[in-house]
């Protein structure tokens, strides 16, 4: 980030007040968990406030939806997320409502906390907001400065909003958990299960940017898209027994599993044994365990599960890992460089206006998306 300072961007000098005092803003919220009817539009959502010196307020130009938004709408992960929101249990009532969903944001910095030196009001930025914070289906959102990055110059806000959450989820799985990077991927055989969704399309492009050989699994109608993104081999999981199809191919160095379920029972057999080959899944029982068993028992059960599976597969000569979304401005800096260099592009399935948020949720709920569902909070992006 110091290079950006050297390029002429002046650091912020401290807190900036908005031109006029605001107390409320338009937002899509839920007041209880359930299906699509719980979504409610309001013009009276409390305006975000900077509580910590490292925070910024962003005027949202575009947001997007992810599967986690559907799950959170239904109450998935509420136990763990509420613990994160109020770890000391200082509040006695349900603290999450009214809850704004949406994790991705592309917009413009409006205010900066006293400790923010990297951004200033007026900067175009993007970010992925952690799920325990109020989301981005709103006119403004507050974020920590270390969660925010300068938006890629080559993208509009609509395009940029499609990338942060899926990009950081894939980055966590491939780079931070899987140990893959630009210097060690050349020639490696990578298998991506569920390659046509948001995380999958990003992962295909990142692995090709790092010169890996990519085998992508998706349905036949998404094959052209995934091939266009750079996949070397595309396997249609509907064209026959997927396990048998993949076993006809050479063994893999790395598997990214966006699907879960029964795939875990056989996918690790596709890895090269005793070579450092790794299987990383994004489908874990962590939040489900805590919802069902409570915090203490859920964490205990989760630890036992991941520990036993890791040891079991290690004895067979392969590494077994779980990965999760990790908010990170510095990682978004690296992703932005790849985007501006033309190595990664957003894949957008459909764009909706801010008034069409419930319709966008129904679209996502229908499944089989080819890329991201984007919301234009400000029209004419």
Question: 189 near 251, Cβ under 8 Å?
Answer: yes
Question: If 0-12 CB within 10 Å is exposed, 13-18 middle and 19+ buried, where does residue 114 land?
Answer: middle
| Separation between Cα atoms, residue 322 and residue 318, nearest integer Å | 14
Q: Which pLDDT score, from 0 to 100, does residue 87 have?
A: 84
End-to-end CA distance of the chain: 27
Joined together, the tokens standing for residue 248 give 């006809």
Instruction: Judge whether residue 283 has pLDDT over 50.
Output: yes
The arithmetic mean of pLDDT across residues 360-373, rounded, is: 91
| Separation between Cα atoms, residue 330 and residue 339, nearest integer Å | 14
pLDDT bin (cut points 50, 70, 90) of residue 355 is: very high
- The mean pLDDT value of the chain amounts to 93
Return the residue matching tokens 């994160």.
84
Q: Which pLDDT score, from 0 to 100, does residue 10 have?
A: 44
Q: Give the tens place of pLDDT for each residue, 22-51.
A: 789 999 999 999 999 999 999 999 999 999
| Separation between Cα atoms, residue 196 and residue 216, nearest integer Å | 8
What class is the 178-322 domain? alpha beta
User: What residue segments make up the domains of the chain, in order of their start?
Assistant: 24-164+346-376, 178-322
| Separation between Cα atoms, residue 35 and residue 42, nearest integer Å | 18
Q: Which pLDDT score, from 0 to 100, does residue 370 have?
A: 85
| Separation between Cα atoms, residue 151 and residue 170, nearest integer Å | 18
pLDDT bin (cut points 50, 70, 90) of residue 94 is: low
Instruction: Judge whether residue 379 has pLDDT over 90.
Output: no
Count of alpha carbons within 13 angstroms of residue 273, beta-carbon side? 5
The arithmetic mean of pLDDT across residues 42-70, rounded, is: 97
Q: Going by C-beta distance under 8 Å and a sequence separation of 6 or more, which residues neighbour residue 256?
A: 170, 173, 174, 178, 190, 191, 192, 193, 203, 280, 282
**Reported pTM:** 0.93
Question: 371 near 346, Cβ under 8 Å?
Answer: yes
Which is more confidently placed, 95 or 318? 318
| Separation between Cα atoms, residue 180 and residue 173, nearest integer Å | 9
Q: Which pLDDT score, from 0 to 100, does residue 159 have?
A: 98
| Separation between Cα atoms, residue 119 and residue 260, nearest integer Å | 39
Q: Which pLDDT score, from 0 to 100, does residue 174 have?
A: 98
Read out DSSP for 45-95?
EEPP---STTEEEEEEEEEEE-HHHHHHHTTTTHHHHHHHHSTT----S--
Q: Which pLDDT score, from 0 to 100, does residue 1 have?
A: 55
Which is more confidently placed, 243 or 367? 243
**What are 373's strand-pairing partners?**
65, 350
pLDDT bin (cut points 50, 70, 90) of residue 369 is: confident
Which CATH number fits the domain 24-164+346-376, given the four candidates 3.40.50.970, 3.90.180.10, 3.40.50.10490, 3.90.230.10?
3.90.180.10
């Amino acid at each position: 980030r110091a290079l950006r300072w050297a390029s002429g961007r002046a650091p912020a000098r401290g807190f900036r007040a908005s031109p006029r005092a605001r107390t409320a803003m338009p937002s899509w919220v839920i007041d209880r968990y359930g299906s699509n009817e719980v979504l409610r539009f309001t013009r009276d959502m409390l305006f975000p406030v900077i509580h910590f010196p490292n925070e910024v307020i962003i005027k949202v130009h575009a947001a997007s939806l992810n599967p986690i938004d559907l799950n959170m709408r239904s109450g998935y992960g509420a136990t763990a997320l509420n613990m994160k929101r109020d770890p000391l249990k200082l509040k006695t009532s349900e603290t999450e409502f009214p809850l704004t969903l949406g994790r991705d944001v592309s917009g413009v910095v409006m205010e900066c906390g006293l400790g923010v030196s990297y951004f200033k009001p007026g900067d175009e930025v993007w970010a992925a907001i952690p799920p325990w914070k109020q989301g981005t289906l709103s006119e403004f959102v507050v974020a920590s400065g270390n969660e925010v990055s300068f938006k890629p110059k080559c993208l509009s806000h609509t395009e940029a909003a499609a990338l942060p959450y899926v990009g950081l989820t894939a980055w966590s799985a491939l780079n931070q958990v899987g140990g893959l990077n630009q210097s060690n991927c050349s020639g490696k055989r990578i298998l991506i299960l569920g390659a046509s969704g948001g995380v999958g399309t990003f992962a295909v492009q990142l692995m090709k940017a790092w010169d890996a050989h990519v085998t992508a699994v998706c349905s036949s109608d998404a094959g052209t898209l995934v091939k266009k993104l750079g996949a070397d081999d595309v396997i249609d999981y509907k064209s026959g027994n997927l396990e048998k199809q993949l076993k006809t191919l050479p063994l893999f160095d790395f598997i990214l599993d966006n699907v879960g379920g029964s795939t875990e029972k056989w996918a690790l057999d596709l890895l090269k044994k005793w070579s450092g080959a790794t299987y990383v899944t994004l489908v874990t029982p962590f939040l489900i365990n805590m919802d069902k068993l409570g915090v203490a028992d859920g964490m205990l059960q989760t630890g036992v599960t991941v520990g036993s599976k890791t040891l079991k597969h290690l004895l067979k000569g392969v590494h077994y890992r779980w990965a999760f979304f990790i908010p990170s401005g510095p990682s978004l800096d690296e992703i932005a460089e790849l985007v501006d260099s033309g190595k990664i592009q957003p894949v957008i399935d459909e764009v909706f206006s801010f008034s069409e948020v419930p319709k966008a949720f129904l679209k996502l709920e229908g499944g089989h998306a080819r890329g991201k569902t984007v919301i234009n909070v400000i029209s004419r992006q």
